[in-house]
């Protein structure tokens, strides 16, 4: 999964807006009668919550790839063509514009 800078900025803008717009003043709270809060989690939210738990527990570093790249670099056999680098840069730019 590719997480681009634009995705991150978009999420920050979305969830950063109006965080305090639903906060009642102390005066409003005192004048209202006491009510009980209720929490209901949908099935979709439960699935998302479980997916986040699994993602947090996953290992972030793939040691086999890191070791293979380190070996290529130390032996001097690590090479990437200009075309490969350009393709990756263009692909990431396209993903940023799509999202």
Range of the domain at 68: 38-99
Which pLDDT does position 50 carry in this prediction?
87
User: Is residue 22 a part of any domain in this protein?
Assistant: no
Rounded to 10°, the helix 5-16/82-98 angle is 20
Find, among 86, 95, 98, the residue nearest to 3 by Cα.
Answer: 95
pLDDT digits (tens, 9 = 90+) for 64-74: 999 999 999 99
User: Is residue 66 a part of any domain in this protein?
Assistant: yes
User: Is residue 4 a part of any domain in this protein?
Assistant: no
Overall domain count for the chain: 1
- Give residues with Cβ within 8 angstroms of 97, minimum separation 6: 6
User: Is residue 63 a part of any domain in this protein?
Assistant: yes
User: Is residue 55 a part of any domain in this protein?
Assistant: yes
Concatenated DSSP letters of 18-78: TTTTTPPPHHHHHHSPP--------HHHHHHHHHHHHHHHS-S--HHHHHHHHHHHHHT--
Find, among 95, 97, 68, 98, the residue nearest to 2 by Cα.
Answer: 95
Positions in the chain whose pLDDT score sits under 50: none
Report the distance separating Cα 98 and Cα 91, nearest Å.
11
């Amino acid at each position: 999964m590719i997480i681009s800078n634009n995705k991150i900025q978009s999420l920050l803008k979305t969830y950063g807006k109006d965080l305090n717009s639903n906060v009642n003043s102390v005066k409003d709270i005192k004048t209202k009668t006491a009510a009980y809060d209720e929490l209901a989690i949908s099935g979709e939210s439960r699935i998302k919550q479980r997916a986040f738990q699994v993602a947090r527990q996953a290992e972030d570093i793939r040691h086999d790839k890191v070791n293979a790249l380190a070996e290529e670099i130390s032996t001097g056999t690590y090479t990437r063509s200009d075309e490969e680098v350009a393709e990756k840069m263009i692909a990431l730019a396209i993903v940023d514009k799509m999202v």
